[in-house]
Amino acid sequence: EPEVTQTPSHQVTQMGQEVILRCVPISNHLYFYWYRQILGQKVEFLVSFYNNEISEKSEIFDDQFSVERPDGSNFTLKIRSTKLEDSAMYFCASRGTSGRREQYFGPGTRLTVT
Amino acid sequence: DQQVKQNSPSLSVQEGRISILNCDYTNSMFDYFLWYKKYPAEGPTFLISISSIKDKNEDGRFTVFLNKSAKHLSLHIVPSQPGDSAVYFCAASEGSNYQLIWGAGTKLIIKP
């Protein structure tokens, strides 16, 4: 069964450093998402991406964040200058055709900013 | 602004019995609802969904009920199995805004 994959599983970085989190969505999916979950809190929407552009973003997704689909398979989230409060689990998700709204999630990347 | 609420942080159920997980929402524009299951250190796994034009959807042991007038949905698991022990999240989406708005989750514990 096709699945969303994410790398790395755990990333430790120092405050102020840039990080790139990588995702490979399900191959025939058209919609891509990033969510995050700070320990003990709700899952929060960051950004959605369709047709090579951002379709929606939350207040969390400020100028420090960017997304890219550099080729036909990868979907990346970049944080330019990490802050302590960026420490969280980051989940990538993808969705197929517009008729179905189920999003399928990867296993997540645990980002720890020290 | 909690648009999706799961008021029970945890629920303990005997194996073989019915598990009922509840979810309330405040945004009347939500028109699609989903349940996800999550194990520690894994991503959420999609379980079952329901459109607002329906009041029930069933898939094997899982049934979701939607009461639009009460802005309430529930997930029934029958019979409950040990492997069902996980955190269950309710999520909702609104029309063209396909982002998912999440509840806080309910930890389900199935006792042998």
Q: Which residues are CB-neighbours of A102 under 8 A, at least 6 positions away?
A: A95, B34, B46, B49
Per-residue model confidence as pLDDT tens digits over B36-48: 999 988 899 999 9
> Does the beta-carbon distance from A104 to B46 stay under 8 Å?
yes
- What Rg value do the Cα atoms of chain B yield, rounded? 13
Q: What pLDDT, on a 0 to 100 scale, did the predictor assign at position A68?
A: 95
**What phi and psi values does residue A47 have, to the nearest 5 degrees?**
-160, 150
Q: Is pLDDT at B1 greater than 70 in this prediction?
A: no
Q: How far is B47 from chain A (nearest CA, A)?
A: 9
Cα B47 to Cα B89: distance, rounded to the nearest angstrom? 10
Other Cβ atoms closer than 10 A to B81? 12
Q: What pLDDT, on a 0 to 100 scale, did the predictor assign at position B17?
A: 98
How many residues make up chain B in this entry? 112
Per-residue model confidence as pLDDT tens digits over B91-107: 999 986 678 999 999 99
Q: What pLDDT, on a 0 to 100 scale, did the predictor assign at position B41?
A: 83
Give B 71-100 residues with CB within 8 A of chain A.
89, 91, 93, 97-100
Q: What pLDDT, on a 0 to 100 scale, did the predictor assign at position B60?
A: 97
- What residues of chain A lie within 8 A of the CB of B36, using their CB? 105
| Mean per-residue pLDDT of chain B | 95
Please compute the mean of the pLDDT values over residues B53-63 and round it to a whole number: 97
Token duo for residue B47: 């379980």
For the four alpha carbons of B30, B53, A105 and A96, in that order, the dihedral sign comes to negative
Please compute the mean of the pLDDT values over residues B44-66 and round it to a whole number: 96
Low-confidence ranges of chain A (pLDDT < 70): 98
Alpha carbon of A36 to those of A44, A88, B80: distances in Å?
5, 6, 29
Q: What pLDDT, on a 0 to 100 scale, did the predictor assign at position A98?
A: 62
Per-residue model confidence as pLDDT tens digits over B63-83: 999 999 999 999 999 999 999
- What residues of chain B lie within 8 A of the CB of A90, using their CB? none
- What residues of chain B lie within 8 A of the CB of A105, using their CB? 36, 43-46
**What phi and psi values does residue B82 have, to the nearest 5 degrees?**
-55, -35
Cα A60 to Cα A51: distance, rounded to the nearest angstrom? 22
For residue A56, give the nearest of B44, B97, B105 by CB distance: B97
B45 interfacial to chain A (CB closer than 8 Å): yes
